[in-house]
Amino acid sequence: MEDERAPIEPSGLNPGVAHNARVWNYWLGGKDHYPADREVGERVFGMFPGIVHVARADRAFLGRAVRHLAGEAGIRQFLDIGTGLPTVDNTHEVAQRMAPDARIVYVDNDPMVLVHARALLTSTPEGATDYVDADARDTGAILKAAAGTLDFDRPVAVMLLGLLNFILDTGEARGIVRRLMDAVPSGSHLVLTHPTLELGGEANAEAMRFWNEHATPPITARSSREIAGFLDGLEVLEPGIVSCSRWRPEFADLGEAPSEVAQFGVVARKP
């Protein structure tokens, strides 16, 4: 997949080392990646071809979860941490199609995502979008910056899709979720996706080991039990912690994609 568009090189970025946001973009069929990203992306694909279905199923889950939240659940505010490079149907586009007054704050720590962030700032006039360049561990800075756009007295959907897998220590990851969910009121939601070896098998484990030797940031898989630990005190919506492709699938999702991918998806509500 050769790319004719030379990516801009923002400061702090090392194009020689594959980085998750850009490799994820490669698996999604995007254009914002360097040769090192494509090489690692291809090697991982060679070991675990299901990775492409994981990336696509994750985005399709994002669409269904946001449609549910902006529709039935009446959520108007979204805090999307670990946003990734802009692609088709970013959170604000899905949410504002349902609810033009929806307000979205995106957060990522990748310099390349920052460079492309203006593509995420195309809000409807009734709504708003903002972008915060921060590490997910720095919840204080994230909440402070997001308060310029979001009203933390009203429900917020906290979205951590494909993000906690980069926080290797489970206790630290739980602390991040707890601090974020403590900051939002009753009626708020948590949306998670997370890779797992419970659905992927040995090929996925091998691909993750390869990733950790050749790319950044390092990644970890988690079990459904560990995912459940992130949801303490929350009401888990049906159908629970499942392959994200199996979370309320719609007719359009039932094409040639496999019915199960090695990525859990779950939505939970703060009572």
Ligand X SMILES: C[S@@+](CC[C@H](N)C(=O)[O-])C[C@H]1O[C@@H](n2cnc3c(N)ncnc32)[C@H](O)[C@@H]1O
Provide the binding-site residues for ligand X, judged by CB under 6 A: 20-21, 24, 58-59, 62, 82-84, 108-110, 113, 135-137, 161-163, 166, 193, 217
Closer of 150 and 160 to ligand X (Cβ): 160
Write down the least CB distance from residue 80 to ligand X, Å.
7
Closer of 249 and 265 to ligand X (Cβ): 265
Q: How are beta strands 215-216 and 18-19 bridged, if at all?
A: parallel
Query: Could you give the dihedral angle defined by the CA atoms of residues 177, 113, 21 and 7, in that order, rounded to the nearest 10 degrees?
Result: 180
Cα–Cα dist 168/145, whole Å: 25
Cα–Cα dist 245/253, whole Å: 8
Length of the chain: 271
Write down the least CB distance from residue 50 to ligand X, Å.
15
Cα–Cα dist 186/248, whole Å: 23
Closer of 163 and 266 to ligand X (Cβ): 163
Closer of 193 and 204 to ligand X (Cβ): 193
- Nearest residue relative to ligand X (C-beta): 84
Write down the least CB distance from residue 42 to ligand X, Å.
17
User: Which of 140, 116, 92 lies closest to 21 in space, CA to CA?
Assistant: 116
Write down the least CB distance from residue 227 to ligand X, Å.
15
Write down the least CB distance from residue 110 to ligand X, Å.
3
Closer of 20 and 188 to ligand X (Cβ): 20
Q: How are beta strands 242-243 and 235-236 bridged, if at all?
A: unpaired
